[in-house]
Amino acid sequence: MALDWKKLDEIHAALGAPGLRINQAHDDEVKLVEYDFNGKRFAGLKQVELMHLTDLQIGSKQFQRDKFIEYRTWILSKPNRFVFLGGDIIDAATVISIASPYDNTGEPIDQVDEATALLRPLKDAGRLLGYVGGNHERRTIKTFGDCGRLIARTLEVPYSRGVQLIDIHYGKHKPFKVSLWHGGGSARTKGAKAQMLHRFMHQADSQLYMVGHLHDVVLLFDWRQQRINNKIKLQKIAGVMSSSFQAYWNGYAEVFAMSPSDTMMARVILEPSGKWEVTLR
């Protein structure tokens, strides 16, 4: 049974979240959603910060819970910080997945409960704007169904197991366009990782493209030609890959001699003037 999107808008309004409108949905999955930060309750904001939280893999023995709670506390410390969930929120190893269930601390259903509990403070503060599933959420499809949908239903956040396009209306951003996708492939070199991200940056007409999946950090800028009022203008676009909340030592990344990485999540800062920048934290 699909979510009641009208009810979801009412829930977001009750939480003090920005105005929400679902523009394209297929059953339980939202492909195009927009948020309005120009209402009275956001009149005092000098900027809007959009945080990327991806590859937590809750339930994995390598999940760095304390580091995630530190990030969550930092996000909640200011009223202008909002979150996109980038997938692989739980690890969800099963007997038919590549990874072993013995590398997990509990069954997938227990991981769903843990994930929703850890994300609930962000939900209750009206900070969750979007969620795309990753390959770990899809591990349960053959036996249970997409557990990402269950997390999204519980938290009442717009979800897509593929790509999600998000429009942010704020000041002169009319709108600021975001493409959210978990990412794909098994690239190991920095150049191959950048190629995956850059291919995604050629889809849609967004200004910002966010991925995860490869547990590394990549930031790319590019320019797009636009016809506006009979003139050609250059539009700045950015693609950013965030890493993960997985520990490196004694995990599969170290065992298979993959490139070491630590947690760095993308943050995009929107100014009401229409300017914007990308940082990593």
| pLDDT, tens digit (0-9, with 9 covering 90-100), for 111-169 | 999 999 999 999 999 999 999 999 999 989 888 889 999 999 999 999 999 999 999 99
pLDDT in tens, 242-278: 999 999 887 777 776 777 789 999 999 999 999 999 9
Structural domain span for residue 126? 5-280
Which residue pairs from 16-24 have beta carbons closer than 8 angstroms and sit at least 24 positions apart in sequence?
A: 16/41, 16/125, 16/126, 17/126, 17/127, 18/42, 18/82, 18/126, 18/129, 20/158, 22/158, 23/167
The token pair at 244 is 């993960």
pLDDT in tens, 134-145: 999 998 988 888
Q: What does the mean pLDDT of the chain come to?
A: 91
Q: Is the N-terminal amide bond of 175 cis, ω within 30° of 0? A: yes
Query: Per the structure, how many domains does the chain have?
Result: 1
pTM score of the predicted model? 0.94
Integer Cα distance of 131 and 251 in angstroms = 26
Integer Cα distance of 281 and 279 in angstroms = 7
CATH no. for residue 77? Answer: 3.60.21
